[in-house]
């Protein structure tokens, strides 16, 4: 039996899942998330028991180029946090065929607000919330944490308050749309970005690096040096900006690897670095 299968089996008997919770309704579209919580199987009625302790919590956004993907595809990547007894919130957001930018950013901000509003119900420690995502989900994790209420984003006021974010885990995410993102050119604008005469302003506003300041949460990025889907230089640009503002950060290059094609050894190294990074108090 593989380690992943063992983890999945353990997960099913030690955790409860609240699936497809509607966290927002926009234009009649229900946008959903899952919550995975540690629990104890009592073997009889009542079958499950939750302890009273507040839990560190991970919020995760899937990848897919803002155009595809689903929260169901992220479960294996969440297992290390589940095994450590974290609460995990795994969220969908509106994709490009439903709504152009900045809709997904506003949805992800709404997830952060939902976590804040439901912390007591799900035993969430609001002083220990970490936000993560991969590829376009990494971009959305950064954007949702770096933008602030009362700012405007493409003419819309940024919505809701969010909990204090302890850290961001950026898995090979897009960080600066004003710089080349792929190995080809930057002329191929993602379907998610609306066409506009002021395109330069639009892509600047949709770039996480635009919002980095001294109040930015700590960031750890994991990125393959041979990535041609999201160039490794995207991570370098972000971390240079974080350094300039003296924000605690770590960039872990995965040498010679492309877009997320990491080995089990690569993932083991990444999670070792992640646990070390998260153990430091700012």
Write out pLDDT tens, residues 115-163: 999 999 999 999 999 999 999 999 999 999 999 876 889 988 887 777 8
| pLDDT (0 to 100) of residue 1 | 38
- Burial call 216-227: b when 16+ CB within 10 Å, e when fewer: bbbbbbbbbeeb
CATH number of 3-278: 3.40.50.1820
pLDDT of residue 80: 96
pLDDT digits (tens, 9 = 90+) for 15-60: 788 999 999 999 999 999 999 998 776 667 665 667 779 999 999 9
Taking residue 117's Cβ as centre, other Cβ atoms within 10 Å add up to: 13
Domain definitions of the chain by residue range = 3-278
**Matching residue, tokens 């063992």:** 6
Q: Mean pLDDT score of the chain, rounded to an integer?
A: 90
State the chain's maximal CA–CA distance in angstroms.
64
Distance CA 55, CA 67 (A): 32
The pLDDT value given to residue 15: 74
Mean pLDDT of 84-91: 96
CA nearest neighbour of 233 among 209, 212, 211: 209
The pLDDT of residue 224:
98
pLDDT on residue 55: 96
Structure tokens at 253: 């290059």
Amino acid 242: pLDDT: 98
User: pTM above 0.75?
Assistant: yes
Identify whether the C-beta of residue 1 lies closer than 8 Å to the C-beta of residue 25.
no
């Amino acid at each position: 039996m593989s380690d992943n299968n063992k983890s999945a089996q353990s997960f099913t008997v030690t955790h409860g899942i609240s699936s497809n919770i509607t966290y927002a309704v926009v234009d009649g579209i229900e946008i959903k998330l899952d919550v995975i919580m540690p629990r104890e199987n009592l073997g009889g009625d009542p079958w499950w028991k939750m302890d009273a302790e507040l839990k560190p919590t991970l919020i995760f956004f899937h990848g897919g180029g803002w155009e595809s993907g689903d929260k169901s595809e992220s479960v294996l990547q969440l297992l290390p946090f589940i095994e450590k007894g974290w609460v995990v919130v795994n969220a969908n957001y509106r994709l490009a065929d439903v709504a152009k930018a900045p809709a997904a950013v506003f949805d992800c901000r709404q997830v952060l607000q939902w976590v804040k509003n439901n912390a007591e119900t799900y035993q969430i420690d609001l002083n220990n919330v970490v936000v993560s995502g991969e590829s376009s989900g990494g971009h959305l994790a950064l954007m949702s944490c770096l933008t602030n209420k009362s700012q405007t984003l493409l003419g819309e006021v940024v919505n809701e308050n969010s909990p204090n974010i302890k850290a961001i885990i950026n898995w090979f995410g897009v960080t600066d749309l004003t710089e080349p993102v792929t190995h080809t050119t930057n002329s191929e604008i993602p379907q998610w970005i609306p066409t506009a005469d002021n395109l330069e302003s639009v892509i600047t506003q949709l770039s996480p690096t635009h919002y980095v300041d001294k109040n930015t949460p700590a960031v750890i990025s994991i990125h393959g040096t041979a990535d041609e889907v999201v160039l490794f230089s995207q991570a370098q640009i972000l971390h240079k900006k974080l350094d300039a503002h003296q924000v605690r950060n770590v960039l872990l290059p995965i040498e010679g690897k492309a877009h997320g094609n990491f080995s089990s050894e690569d993932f083991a190294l990444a999670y070792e670095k992640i646990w070390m990074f998260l153990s430091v108090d700012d």
